[in-house]
A and B are shown apart, each in its own frame.
Chain A
Amino acid sequence: MKALTTPQHYFDQTFFEAEKINVFEQTWQFVGFQFEIANHQDFLTRTIGNKAVVVQNFNGDLRAFLNVCSHRYSQIQDETQRCGNRPLRCPYHGWTFDSTGTPVGIPCQSDFEDLDPDAFKLTSFALETCGPFIFVRIAEEGPSLEQYFGDLYSNIKAIAEAMEDCVDQYVVQVPANWKLLVENSLEGYHVNFIHLKSIKQYGAGAKTDSETGKVVGHKFHFGFPHSWLIDAVEDNAFSKWQKIEPAYATRPFKTDTYHQYQVFPNLNVATFYGSAFFVQLFQPISPQETLVTHYSIRSKFNTPSKKDLALIHMTMENMVNMGKTILDEDIGICKMVQRGIQQNPNPTGVLCHEEERVYQYQRSYLAYLNNRQSLEAQWS
Protein backbone atom coordinates (compact mmCIF):
# COMPACT_ATOMS: atom_id res chain seq x y z
CA MET A 1 0.00 0.00 0.00
CA LYS A 2 1.27 3.47 -0.82
CA ALA A 3 0.80 6.09 1.86
CA LEU A 4 -1.87 8.60 0.90
CA THR A 5 -0.46 11.66 2.63
CA THR A 6 2.73 13.43 1.63
CA PRO A 7 5.53 14.68 3.89
CA GLN A 8 4.18 18.24 3.46
CA HIS A 9 1.04 17.28 5.37
CA TYR A 10 3.22 16.95 8.47
CA PHE A 11 5.01 20.30 8.50
CA ASP A 12 3.44 22.72 6.04
CA GLN A 13 1.55 25.70 7.51
CA THR A 14 -0.94 25.73 4.60
CA PHE A 15 -2.13 22.21 5.35
CA PHE A 16 -2.19 23.01 9.06
CA GLU A 17 -4.50 25.99 8.53
CA ALA A 18 -6.79 23.94 6.27
CA GLU A 19 -7.07 21.02 8.70
CA LYS A 20 -8.01 23.35 11.57
CA ILE A 21 -11.15 24.31 9.65
CA ASN A 22 -11.93 21.20 7.63
CA VAL A 23 -10.98 18.54 10.17
CA PHE A 24 -11.11 19.96 13.70
CA GLU A 25 -14.03 22.36 13.30
CA GLN A 26 -16.13 19.72 11.48
CA THR A 27 -15.73 16.76 13.84
CA TRP A 28 -16.83 16.07 17.41
CA GLN A 29 -13.89 16.97 19.60
CA PHE A 30 -13.18 15.47 23.00
CA VAL A 31 -12.59 18.36 25.42
CA GLY A 32 -12.39 16.64 28.80
CA PHE A 33 -14.19 14.51 31.36
CA GLN A 34 -17.21 15.37 33.45
CA PHE A 35 -15.21 14.59 36.57
CA GLU A 36 -12.85 17.47 35.63
CA ILE A 37 -15.71 19.98 35.84
CA ALA A 38 -18.07 18.30 38.28
CA ASN A 39 -19.03 21.38 40.35
CA HIS A 40 -21.12 24.47 39.69
CA GLN A 41 -19.01 27.16 37.95
CA ASP A 42 -16.21 24.73 37.08
CA PHE A 43 -14.89 25.43 33.59
CA LEU A 44 -12.35 24.22 31.10
CA THR A 45 -10.87 26.02 28.11
CA ARG A 46 -9.75 24.45 24.85
CA THR A 47 -8.79 25.53 21.35
CA ILE A 48 -10.61 23.69 18.57
CA GLY A 49 -9.43 24.66 15.10
CA ASN A 50 -9.37 28.44 15.20
CA LYS A 51 -11.91 28.73 18.01
CA ALA A 52 -11.24 29.42 21.67
CA VAL A 53 -13.85 27.38 23.54
CA VAL A 54 -15.04 27.48 27.14
CA VAL A 55 -17.08 24.64 28.64
CA GLN A 56 -18.86 25.81 31.77
CA ASN A 57 -20.82 23.93 34.43
CA PHE A 58 -24.08 25.73 35.38
CA ASN A 59 -25.49 23.73 38.31
CA GLY A 60 -24.65 20.47 36.52
CA ASP A 61 -25.71 21.70 33.08
CA LEU A 62 -22.69 21.75 30.77
CA ARG A 63 -22.57 24.38 28.02
CA ALA A 64 -19.95 25.27 25.40
CA PHE A 65 -19.38 28.82 24.14
CA LEU A 66 -16.88 30.84 22.20
CA ASN A 67 -14.62 32.10 24.96
CA VAL A 68 -14.96 35.72 23.84
CA CYS A 69 -17.06 38.43 25.49
CA SER A 70 -19.69 39.98 23.22
CA HIS A 71 -18.99 43.47 24.66
CA ARG A 72 -15.34 44.31 23.96
CA TYR A 73 -13.97 40.87 23.02
CA SER A 74 -11.83 39.90 25.98
CA GLN A 75 -11.45 36.19 26.59
CA ILE A 76 -13.87 35.37 29.41
CA GLN A 77 -12.03 32.52 31.11
CA ASP A 78 -8.24 32.63 31.07
CA GLU A 79 -7.21 30.11 28.43
CA THR A 80 -3.80 29.66 30.02
CA GLN A 81 -5.76 27.92 32.79
CA ARG A 82 -6.95 24.67 31.25
CA CYS A 83 -9.59 24.42 33.98
CA GLY A 84 -10.78 26.32 37.04
CA ASN A 85 -13.79 27.52 38.98
CA ARG A 86 -15.37 30.95 38.54
CA PRO A 87 -18.60 32.35 37.08
CA LEU A 88 -18.81 32.92 33.34
CA ARG A 89 -17.93 36.56 33.87
CA CYS A 90 -15.75 38.73 31.64
CA PRO A 91 -12.74 39.97 33.64
CA TYR A 92 -12.67 43.26 31.66
CA HIS A 93 -15.99 45.01 32.52
CA GLY A 94 -17.71 42.30 34.54
CA TRP A 95 -20.40 41.14 32.09
CA THR A 96 -21.82 37.90 33.47
CA PHE A 97 -23.46 35.28 31.25
CA ASP A 98 -26.07 32.62 32.04
CA SER A 99 -26.37 29.08 30.72
CA THR A 100 -27.96 30.31 27.48
CA GLY A 101 -25.01 32.66 26.90
CA THR A 102 -27.16 35.74 27.54
CA PRO A 103 -25.53 38.58 29.50
CA VAL A 104 -27.61 38.75 32.69
CA GLY A 105 -25.33 40.87 34.80
CA ILE A 106 -24.21 44.05 33.02
CA PRO A 107 -22.63 46.64 35.32
CA CYS A 108 -24.13 50.13 34.78
CA GLN A 109 -26.59 48.71 32.23
CA SER A 110 -28.62 51.96 32.20
CA ASP A 111 -25.53 53.73 30.86
CA PHE A 112 -25.94 51.89 27.53
CA GLU A 113 -28.40 53.21 24.94
CA ASP A 114 -31.17 50.70 24.13
CA LEU A 115 -29.12 47.64 25.02
CA ASP A 116 -30.89 44.39 24.15
CA PRO A 117 -29.06 41.59 26.07
CA ASP A 118 -30.43 38.94 23.66
CA ALA A 119 -28.50 40.59 20.84
CA PHE A 120 -25.28 40.00 22.78
CA LYS A 121 -25.59 36.29 23.42
CA LEU A 122 -22.35 34.36 23.30
CA THR A 123 -21.76 32.14 20.30
CA SER A 124 -22.68 28.64 21.49
CA PHE A 125 -21.48 25.25 20.26
CA ALA A 126 -23.07 21.80 20.27
CA LEU A 127 -22.05 19.75 23.33
CA GLU A 128 -22.79 16.08 23.98
CA THR A 129 -21.63 13.64 26.61
CA CYS A 130 -21.01 9.90 26.48
CA GLY A 131 -20.57 8.66 30.05
CA PRO A 132 -17.96 11.02 31.49
CA PHE A 133 -16.61 12.03 28.05
CA ILE A 134 -17.49 15.58 26.93
CA PHE A 135 -17.47 16.36 23.22
CA VAL A 136 -17.95 19.69 21.44
CA ARG A 137 -18.72 20.32 17.76
CA ILE A 138 -17.85 23.72 16.31
CA ALA A 139 -19.73 23.28 13.00
CA GLU A 140 -23.35 24.40 13.31
CA GLU A 141 -24.58 21.53 11.16
CA GLY A 142 -23.47 17.96 11.53
CA PRO A 143 -24.28 14.49 12.80
CA SER A 144 -25.16 13.77 16.42
CA LEU A 145 -22.39 12.22 18.50
CA GLU A 146 -23.98 8.78 18.16
CA GLN A 147 -24.26 9.17 14.38
CA TYR A 148 -20.67 10.37 14.16
CA PHE A 149 -19.39 7.41 16.18
CA GLY A 150 -21.41 4.92 14.11
CA ASP A 151 -20.42 1.31 14.84
CA LEU A 152 -17.95 2.54 17.45
CA TYR A 153 -20.67 4.02 19.63
CA SER A 154 -21.84 0.97 21.59
CA ASN A 155 -18.33 -0.02 22.67
CA ILE A 156 -17.26 3.53 23.55
CA LYS A 157 -20.47 3.99 25.52
CA ALA A 158 -19.92 0.71 27.41
CA ILE A 159 -16.34 1.74 28.21
CA ALA A 160 -17.41 5.25 29.20
CA GLU A 161 -20.04 3.90 31.59
CA ALA A 162 -17.45 1.60 33.19
CA MET A 163 -15.17 4.52 34.09
CA GLU A 164 -14.91 5.53 37.74
CA ASP A 165 -12.38 8.37 37.96
CA CYS A 166 -9.08 9.66 36.66
CA VAL A 167 -6.12 8.59 38.77
CA ASP A 168 -3.43 10.26 36.70
CA GLN A 169 -3.17 12.89 33.98
CA TYR A 170 0.11 13.30 32.09
CA VAL A 171 0.41 16.34 29.82
CA VAL A 172 3.42 16.80 27.57
CA GLN A 173 4.27 19.08 24.66
CA VAL A 174 5.89 17.19 21.81
CA PRO A 175 7.90 18.65 18.88
CA ALA A 176 6.08 16.54 16.29
CA ASN A 177 3.01 16.90 14.08
CA TRP A 178 -0.15 15.58 15.75
CA LYS A 179 -0.85 13.11 12.92
CA LEU A 180 2.52 11.43 13.40
CA LEU A 181 1.55 10.65 16.99
CA VAL A 182 -1.89 9.36 16.01
CA GLU A 183 -0.57 7.24 13.15
CA ASN A 184 2.13 5.82 15.41
CA SER A 185 -0.60 4.61 17.77
CA LEU A 186 -2.39 2.78 14.96
CA GLU A 187 0.18 0.16 14.06
CA GLY A 188 1.95 -2.61 15.90
CA TYR A 189 4.79 -2.80 13.40
CA HIS A 190 7.01 -0.55 15.53
CA VAL A 191 6.27 -2.33 18.83
CA ASN A 192 9.02 -4.93 18.47
CA PHE A 193 11.58 -2.14 18.23
CA ILE A 194 10.27 0.76 20.27
CA HIS A 195 8.37 -1.03 23.06
CA LEU A 196 10.38 -4.19 23.56
CA LYS A 197 10.61 -3.63 27.31
CA SER A 198 7.13 -2.21 27.86
CA ILE A 199 3.91 -2.98 25.99
CA LYS A 200 5.47 -5.88 24.06
CA GLN A 201 5.42 -7.80 27.34
CA TYR A 202 1.62 -7.57 27.24
CA GLY A 203 1.49 -9.12 23.81
CA ALA A 204 0.94 -6.00 21.74
CA GLY A 205 2.42 -5.62 18.30
CA ALA A 206 2.75 -7.60 15.11
CA LYS A 207 2.67 -11.36 15.63
CA THR A 208 4.26 -13.89 13.31
CA ASP A 209 3.37 -17.52 12.69
CA SER A 210 6.14 -19.60 14.24
CA GLU A 211 6.17 -22.02 11.27
CA THR A 212 5.67 -19.76 8.26
CA GLY A 213 7.15 -16.56 9.66
CA LYS A 214 4.22 -14.65 8.16
CA VAL A 215 2.53 -11.86 10.09
CA VAL A 216 -0.83 -13.10 11.35
CA GLY A 217 -3.98 -11.95 13.02
CA HIS A 218 -4.87 -8.41 12.04
CA LYS A 219 -7.96 -7.80 14.19
CA PHE A 220 -8.73 -4.41 12.68
CA HIS A 221 -12.17 -2.88 12.35
CA PHE A 222 -13.13 0.14 10.28
CA GLY A 223 -16.12 2.42 10.38
CA PHE A 224 -15.35 5.63 8.53
CA PRO A 225 -13.69 7.78 9.77
CA HIS A 226 -12.73 5.70 12.82
CA SER A 227 -10.90 2.41 13.35
CA TRP A 228 -10.37 0.00 16.20
CA LEU A 229 -8.45 -3.08 17.22
CA ILE A 230 -9.64 -5.92 19.42
CA ASP A 231 -6.89 -8.45 19.91
CA ALA A 232 -5.87 -11.35 22.10
CA VAL A 233 -3.12 -10.89 24.63
CA GLU A 234 -0.10 -13.20 24.55
CA ASP A 235 -0.45 -16.35 26.66
CA ASN A 236 2.26 -15.34 29.11
CA ALA A 237 0.66 -11.98 29.87
CA PHE A 238 -2.81 -13.48 29.89
CA SER A 239 -1.90 -16.11 32.51
CA LYS A 240 -0.65 -13.26 34.74
CA TRP A 241 -3.94 -11.46 34.28
CA GLN A 242 -5.90 -14.61 35.17
CA LYS A 243 -4.21 -14.60 38.57
CA ILE A 244 -5.43 -11.12 39.45
CA GLU A 245 -8.72 -11.20 37.51
CA PRO A 246 -10.80 -12.36 40.53
CA ALA A 247 -10.11 -8.99 42.19
CA TYR A 248 -11.71 -7.32 39.14
CA ALA A 249 -14.67 -9.69 38.93
CA THR A 250 -17.21 -6.88 39.36
CA ARG A 251 -15.77 -4.58 36.65
CA PRO A 252 -18.56 -3.53 34.25
CA PHE A 253 -16.63 -3.77 30.95
CA LYS A 254 -15.57 -7.40 30.92
CA THR A 255 -13.31 -8.68 28.19
CA ASP A 256 -10.33 -11.01 27.99
CA THR A 257 -8.75 -9.02 25.17
CA TYR A 258 -6.98 -5.73 24.42
CA HIS A 259 -9.14 -3.00 22.87
CA GLN A 260 -7.86 0.15 21.21
CA TYR A 261 -10.21 2.65 19.58
CA GLN A 262 -9.24 5.59 17.39
CA VAL A 263 -11.94 8.23 17.46
CA PHE A 264 -11.20 10.39 14.45
CA PRO A 265 -9.25 12.59 14.33
CA ASN A 266 -7.20 12.80 17.55
CA LEU A 267 -8.58 10.70 20.41
CA ASN A 268 -7.52 7.20 21.43
CA VAL A 269 -9.19 4.99 24.03
CA ALA A 270 -7.60 1.71 25.13
CA THR A 271 -8.08 -0.99 27.73
CA PHE A 272 -6.53 -4.27 28.79
CA TYR A 273 -9.38 -6.58 29.88
CA GLY A 274 -11.55 -3.63 30.98
CA SER A 275 -9.44 -3.41 34.15
CA ALA A 276 -8.45 0.23 33.55
CA PHE A 277 -8.75 2.68 30.67
CA PHE A 278 -6.20 4.89 28.93
CA VAL A 279 -7.30 7.92 26.98
CA GLN A 280 -4.93 9.93 24.82
CA LEU A 281 -5.71 13.25 23.21
CA PHE A 282 -3.41 14.76 20.58
CA GLN A 283 -4.06 18.51 20.25
CA PRO A 284 -2.22 20.41 17.53
CA ILE A 285 -0.36 23.53 18.62
CA SER A 286 1.47 24.22 15.36
CA PRO A 287 2.40 22.11 12.31
CA GLN A 288 5.32 20.73 14.29
CA GLU A 289 4.08 20.78 17.89
CA THR A 290 1.43 18.76 19.68
CA LEU A 291 0.03 18.79 23.19
CA VAL A 292 -0.49 15.22 24.35
CA THR A 293 -2.77 14.50 27.30
CA HIS A 294 -2.70 10.96 28.68
CA TYR A 295 -5.42 10.04 31.18
CA SER A 296 -5.28 6.86 33.29
CA ILE A 297 -8.83 5.99 34.33
CA ARG A 298 -9.85 3.52 37.00
CA SER A 299 -12.68 1.11 36.28
CA LYS A 300 -15.73 0.96 38.49
CA PHE A 301 -15.78 -2.12 40.71
CA ASN A 302 -17.60 -3.25 43.76
CA THR A 303 -15.55 -5.35 46.12
CA PRO A 304 -15.50 -5.14 49.89
CA SER A 305 -12.24 -7.13 50.13
CA LYS A 306 -9.33 -5.11 51.47
CA LYS A 307 -6.95 -7.51 49.73
CA ASP A 308 -8.65 -7.03 46.35
CA LEU A 309 -8.70 -3.25 46.78
CA ALA A 310 -4.97 -3.28 47.55
CA LEU A 311 -4.28 -5.42 44.49
CA ILE A 312 -6.35 -3.13 42.25
CA HIS A 313 -4.54 -0.10 43.69
CA MET A 314 -1.08 -1.56 43.07
CA THR A 315 -2.00 -2.84 39.60
CA MET A 316 -3.34 0.59 38.67
CA GLU A 317 -0.11 2.21 39.81
CA ASN A 318 1.87 -0.22 37.66
CA MET A 319 -0.36 0.52 34.68
CA VAL A 320 -0.03 4.29 35.16
CA ASN A 321 3.76 4.00 35.12
CA MET A 322 3.66 1.62 32.16
CA GLY A 323 1.41 4.05 30.24
CA LYS A 324 3.87 6.90 30.76
CA THR A 325 6.79 4.72 29.70
CA ILE A 326 5.02 3.68 26.50
CA LEU A 327 4.08 7.27 25.72
CA ASP A 328 7.62 8.50 26.30
CA GLU A 329 8.93 5.77 23.98
CA ASP A 330 6.43 6.82 21.30
CA ILE A 331 7.27 10.50 21.74
CA GLY A 332 10.97 9.76 21.36
CA ILE A 333 10.53 8.10 17.97
CA CYS A 334 7.92 10.62 16.72
CA LYS A 335 10.39 13.46 17.39
CA MET A 336 12.89 11.65 15.18
CA VAL A 337 10.28 11.10 12.47
CA GLN A 338 9.39 14.80 12.53
CA ARG A 339 13.04 15.74 12.00
CA GLY A 340 13.33 13.20 9.18
CA ILE A 341 10.07 13.86 7.37
CA GLN A 342 11.10 17.42 6.49
CA GLN A 343 14.01 16.01 4.49
CA ASN A 344 12.18 13.08 2.94
CA PRO A 345 13.13 12.84 -0.73
CA ASN A 346 10.21 10.49 -1.52
CA PRO A 347 6.83 12.05 -2.18
CA THR A 348 4.99 9.22 -0.42
CA GLY A 349 5.88 6.37 1.89
CA VAL A 350 4.84 2.74 1.78
CA LEU A 351 2.75 0.81 4.29
CA CYS A 352 2.49 -2.90 5.12
CA HIS A 353 -0.69 -4.79 6.05
CA GLU A 354 0.09 -4.30 9.75
CA GLU A 355 -0.15 -0.57 9.00
CA GLU A 356 -3.57 -0.76 7.36
CA ARG A 357 -5.12 1.41 10.05
CA VAL A 358 -2.62 4.14 9.16
CA TYR A 359 -3.69 3.88 5.52
CA GLN A 360 -7.38 4.12 6.44
CA TYR A 361 -6.65 6.97 8.83
CA GLN A 362 -4.92 8.91 6.06
CA ARG A 363 -7.93 8.23 3.85
CA SER A 364 -10.25 9.66 6.50
CA TYR A 365 -7.98 12.65 7.05
CA LEU A 366 -7.80 13.50 3.34
CA ALA A 367 -11.56 13.05 2.97
CA TYR A 368 -12.15 15.69 5.63
CA LEU A 369 -9.31 17.91 4.50
CA ASN A 370 -10.67 17.95 0.96
CA ASN A 371 -14.35 18.04 1.98
CA ARG A 372 -15.10 14.60 0.53
CA GLN A 373 -16.24 12.98 3.77
CA SER A 374 -19.80 12.21 2.67
CA LEU A 375 -18.50 10.39 -0.40
CA GLU A 376 -15.93 8.45 1.63
CA ALA A 377 -18.61 7.42 4.13
CA GLN A 378 -20.59 5.85 1.30
CA TRP A 379 -17.59 3.83 0.19
CA SER A 380 -16.94 2.25 3.56
Chain B
Amino acid sequence: MHPDEFIRNFADAVEDIEPGSLSLDTNFRELENWSSIAALMTLAMIYSEYSVQITGNELETCKTLGDLFTTINSKVLEKA
Protein backbone atom coordinates (compact mmCIF):
# COMPACT_ATOMS: atom_id res chain seq x y z
CA MET B 1 0.00 0.00 0.00
CA HIS B 2 1.58 3.22 -1.20
CA PRO B 3 0.61 6.70 0.06
CA ASP B 4 0.37 8.19 -3.47
CA GLU B 5 -1.96 5.44 -4.60
CA PHE B 6 -4.07 5.93 -1.45
CA ILE B 7 -4.33 9.68 -2.09
CA ARG B 8 -5.40 9.05 -5.71
CA ASN B 9 -8.08 6.61 -4.52
CA PHE B 10 -9.28 9.09 -1.89
CA ALA B 11 -9.54 11.91 -4.44
CA ASP B 12 -11.44 9.60 -6.78
CA ALA B 13 -13.91 8.63 -4.01
CA VAL B 14 -14.63 12.17 -2.83
CA GLU B 15 -14.82 13.51 -6.41
CA ASP B 16 -13.84 16.89 -7.86
CA ILE B 17 -10.53 16.99 -6.02
CA GLU B 18 -7.14 17.23 -7.67
CA PRO B 19 -4.93 14.51 -6.13
CA GLY B 20 -2.03 16.98 -6.41
CA SER B 21 -3.72 19.28 -3.91
CA LEU B 22 -3.68 16.56 -1.24
CA SER B 23 -0.99 15.18 1.02
CA LEU B 24 -0.88 12.96 4.10
CA ASP B 25 -1.01 16.16 6.19
CA THR B 26 -4.33 17.26 4.67
CA ASN B 27 -7.15 17.60 7.20
CA PHE B 28 -9.77 15.94 5.04
CA ARG B 29 -12.70 17.22 7.13
CA GLU B 30 -11.84 20.75 6.08
CA LEU B 31 -12.11 19.94 2.38
CA GLU B 32 -14.87 21.80 0.61
CA ASN B 33 -16.26 18.54 -0.81
CA TRP B 34 -16.24 16.64 2.48
CA SER B 35 -19.76 15.53 3.48
CA SER B 36 -21.55 12.53 4.93
CA ILE B 37 -21.84 11.09 1.42
CA ALA B 38 -18.10 11.66 0.83
CA ALA B 39 -17.46 9.75 4.08
CA LEU B 40 -19.62 6.89 2.83
CA MET B 41 -17.79 6.90 -0.54
CA THR B 42 -14.47 6.85 1.30
CA LEU B 43 -15.47 3.88 3.47
CA ALA B 44 -16.65 2.06 0.33
CA MET B 45 -13.37 2.85 -1.46
CA ILE B 46 -11.36 1.44 1.47
CA TYR B 47 -13.47 -1.73 1.51
CA SER B 48 -13.21 -2.10 -2.25
CA GLU B 49 -9.50 -1.27 -2.75
CA TYR B 50 -7.91 -2.63 0.42
CA SER B 51 -10.39 -5.35 1.48
CA VAL B 52 -10.55 -4.04 5.04
CA GLN B 53 -13.44 -2.37 6.77
CA ILE B 54 -13.19 0.93 8.61
CA THR B 55 -16.18 1.82 10.75
CA GLY B 56 -17.75 5.25 10.91
CA ASN B 57 -16.37 5.64 14.45
CA GLU B 58 -12.85 4.80 13.32
CA LEU B 59 -13.15 7.36 10.55
CA GLU B 60 -14.27 9.90 13.17
CA THR B 61 -11.00 9.47 15.08
CA CYS B 62 -8.91 10.28 11.99
CA LYS B 63 -8.10 13.90 11.34
CA THR B 64 -5.61 13.82 8.47
CA LEU B 65 -5.23 11.59 5.44
CA GLY B 66 -2.08 10.31 7.16
CA ASP B 67 -4.16 9.16 10.15
CA LEU B 68 -6.52 7.36 7.81
CA PHE B 69 -3.65 5.82 5.85
CA THR B 70 -2.11 4.50 9.10
CA THR B 71 -5.44 3.06 10.27
CA ILE B 72 -5.95 1.24 6.97
CA ASN B 73 -2.34 0.07 6.85
CA SER B 74 -2.51 -1.44 10.33
CA LYS B 75 -5.71 -3.31 9.38
CA VAL B 76 -4.11 -4.59 6.17
CA LEU B 77 -1.05 -5.82 8.11
CA GLU B 78 -3.28 -7.36 10.81
CA LYS B 79 -5.12 -9.29 8.11
CA ALA B 80 -1.96 -10.51 6.34
Contact = CB atoms under 8 A, between A and B. Distances in A.
Interface stretch (A44-52, A149-157, A191-199, A312-320): A312-320
Name the residue among B40, B45, B56 with the largest chain A CB count within 10 angstroms. Answer: B40
A206 B79 CA distance: 47
A243 B47 CA distance: 18
Contacts of A307: 44-45, 48
Given A306-B48, A318-B56, A311 B37 contact: no
Contact of B44 (A240, A311, A321): A311
A310 interface: yes
A244 B37 contact: yes
A314 B48 CA distance: 10
A318 B41 CA distance: 12
A313 B44 contact: yes
Interface in B38-80: 40-41, 43-45, 47-48, 56
A344 B47 CA distance: 52
Nearest to B12: A307
Interface in B8-39: 35-37
Nearest to A309: B48
Interface string A308-347: 0111011100100100000000000000000000000000
Contact of A310 (B35, B37, B45): B45
A240 B37 contact: yes
B56 A310 contact: no
Contact of B40 (A309, A318, A321): A318
Contact of A244 (B35, B40, B48, B56): B40
Nearest to B40: A314
B44 A310 contact: yes
A106 B36 CA distance: 62
Nearest to A318: B40
Interface string A232-263: 00000000100110000000000000000000
A240 B36 contact: yes
B48 A310 contact: yes
Contacts of B43: 314
A241 to B, nearest CB: 9
B47 A310 contact: yes
A356 B40 CA distance: 36
Contacts of B48: 306-307, 309-311
Nearest to A306: B48
A243 B36 CA distance: 12
Interface of A: 240, 243-244, 306-307, 309-311, 313-315, 318, 321
30 contacts: A240-B35, A240-B36, A240-B37, A243-B37, A243-B41, A244-B37, A244-B40, A244-B41, A306-B48, A307-B44, A307-B45, A307-B48, A309-B48, A310-B44, A310-B45, A310-B47, A310-B48, A311-B40, A311-B41, A311-B44, A311-B48, A313-B44, A314-B43, A314-B44, A314-B47, A315-B40, A315-B44, A318-B40, A318-B56, A321-B56
Given A307-B45, A310-B44, 14 more contacts: A240-B35, A240-B37, A243-B41, A244-B40, A244-B41, A306-B48, A309-B48, A310-B48, A311-B41, A313-B44, A313-B47, A314-B44, A314-B47, A315-B44
**Which 9 residue pairs across A and B have the least CB separation, nearest first?**
A310-B48, A311-B44, A310-B47, A310-B44, A314-B44, A314-B43, A240-B37, A307-B48, A306-B48
